[in-house]
Structure 1
């Protein structure tokens, strides 16, 4: 197993699962029932994720006049849902964690059906000579969501329920640990993918930066437009602009069998960690007096 495979298949999932456990210790069932009772924030976030993001990616691919391979790589990113990394960033930013987790889980399941449809169109539009049937691994995707997100968070919530004082004491240390793990993962990703990242920045650095900034900007503006509380604005901003790079890379290299399509994904991963780190630094310092 190569260093990149070890990081992607073992270190990263395990680290994120531990973070999700700590995240669960900050949540109670009422955090999720509020989303059902007041679904506006959830619907706004989902609309951004499933509709606006692919449109933005498509327009950017045309505007930057990307080659067919680079254009499809950008479209892969734009169709992917948020991942556990977006939940991590939301936690450190003191956003609405329940909203972030719910959006990630729901968008991940729905994207099993939307990604093949959108990418089939993108392949036909940007490269008419390509004829590939896109089928995402439904079971593997659901298992990934359950193993990295749902189960650890559920265990954390049980700890919060039965060991409340312990869970409250661990809130600040776990947030600190999340920040440290975020930095370590970023360094590990840089080291393991140095070659492809250099090519990625040269070929698609600018367009992926614009994709990251515009999608976060749209998330922020739509959330503010509907007068959501700051915690929910933060969550929607992050969920709109931080995509599941691991899933995107799997689609490019394993399903479409094109390593070049992974080049924009490598570049995007760098910007994602940088902008996510800036948000963590900006919002993580503030004092929260009440939850959403």
Structure 2
């Protein structure tokens, strides 16, 4: 039952993403070339490397270690836009990064999964070597997005009216997918909760910090750096869970995505609060100096 409902739930989430996207969202990368390039480099290269180091540091092995790498390869989640808005980030850039990440993930996830199988599952049947598995990832990630974009183009007024409802529904569906994965794998979770909670919280925190600091080092504007931090720190756990359970047929690999889907909200909320306070102080400083 879970294996049947899960792809449908993810398809709904990805359709909802497509319903909020236009071709302009992809073109917008030309408006923020440096911010987008730095964020995507962090997402595609830096995060998997950091995640691999944390896997060895926390002593994760087997399918749980492979599932953690699968999570690191997943694109940003819908709630990234919400946290970015609260923190004063460039939400338009968030939308652009999510769109591009979702496309790139179809090609990068098979590579990361192939690596994780080779390192932790001693299996040469990794997704990178299986065209049928690659096609399944394409089908559950990109096809619903493309359909959503077509509906937005064809029925623009309706799509615009539904934008807010779709965003809320997507977050609710994501939460239900995460909770269902937690419930289904509660025994595995109970046996490994300490390691998984620790690595997920550290990974989320490091992702948020690097997602903000690396763009700032490259002199990316603050609001764009905030967007980058939220996009990099908030992964789409539903994609990781769906690929693990429905494509790879390995429920254990879905557990890190489920744990991360719950715990990432803690450092993300703290980061949003601190960044929003920083932005508020920056706005008030010139006013204070004028009165002086």
* 2:214 is aligned with 1:222: yes
Q: Return the alpha-carbon distance in structure 1 between the equivalents of residues 150 and 219 of structure 2.
A: 30
Q: Give the match for residue 46 of structure 2.
A: 52
Q: Return the alpha-carbon distance in structure 2 between the equivalents of residues 204 and 53 of structure 1.
A: 17
Q: Point out where structure 1 has 5 or more consecutive residues left out of the alignment.
A: 288-292
The Cα shift of 1:207 comes to 0.9
Q: Return the alpha-carbon distance in structure 2 between the equivalents of residues 251 and 188 of structure 1.
A: 12
TM-score by length of structure 1 reads: 0.72
Q: Give the match for residue 72 of structure 1.
A: 66
Q: Give the match for residue 143 of structure 2.
A: 147
Q: Give the match for residue 179 of structure 1.
A: 168
Is this contact kept in 2: 1:93–1:280, CA < 8 A? Answer: yes
Alignment CA distance shift 1:277-1:107 (3 Å): farther
Q: Return the alpha-carbon distance in structure 2 between the equivalents of residues 227 and 159 of structure 1.
A: 40
Q: Return the alpha-carbon distance in structure 2 between the equivalents of residues 11 and 261 of structure 1.
A: 18
For residue 193 of structure 1, give the secondary structure of its aligned residue in structure 2. helix
Q: Return the alpha-carbon distance in structure 1 between the equivalents of residues 30 and 214 of structure 2.
A: 20
Alignment CA distance shift 1:277-1:81 (3 Å): same
TM-score by length of structure 2 reads: 0.72
Is this contact kept in 1: 2:197–2:259, CA < 8 A? Answer: yes
Is this contact kept in 1: 2:74–2:109, CA < 8 A? Answer: no
Q: Return the alpha-carbon distance in structure 1 between the equivalents of residues 32 and 107 of structure 2.
A: 21
Q: Deviations over 1:139-185 (max 9, x none)?
A: 2222233333233134325555xx5xx776x3xx7336523652464
Alignment of 1:1-292 (within 5 A): 1-2=1-2, 5-6=4-5, 8-21=6-19, 23-24=20-21, 29=24, 31-36=25-30, 38-78=32-72, 80-83=73-76, 86-90=77-81, 93-94=84-85, 95=91, 96-123=93-120, 130-136=122-128, 137-157=133-153, 159-160=155-156, 163=157, 170=161, 174-175=163-164, 178-179=167-168, 181-183=170-172, 185-187=174-176, 189-191=178-180, 193-197=182-186, 198-199=189-190, 201-253=193-245, 258-275=250-267
Alignment CA distance shift 1:113-1:203 (3 Å): closer
Q: How many residues align?
A: 266
Is this contact kept in 1: 2:26–2:96, CA < 8 A? Answer: yes
Q: Return the alpha-carbon distance in structure 2 between the equivalents of residues 151 and 256 of structure 1.
A: 24
RMSD: 3.7
Alignment CA distance shift 1:192-1:54 (3 Å): closer
For residue 93 of structure 1, give the secondary structure of its aligned residue in structure 2. helix
Deviates more, 1:228-237 or 1:41-50: 228-237
Alignment CA distance shift 1:282-1:15 (3 Å): farther
Is this contact kept in 1: 2:182–2:259, CA < 8 A? Answer: no
Q: Return the alpha-carbon distance in structure 1 between the equivalents of residues 138 and 227 of structure 2.
A: 22
Alignment CA distance shift 1:190-1:254 (3 Å): closer
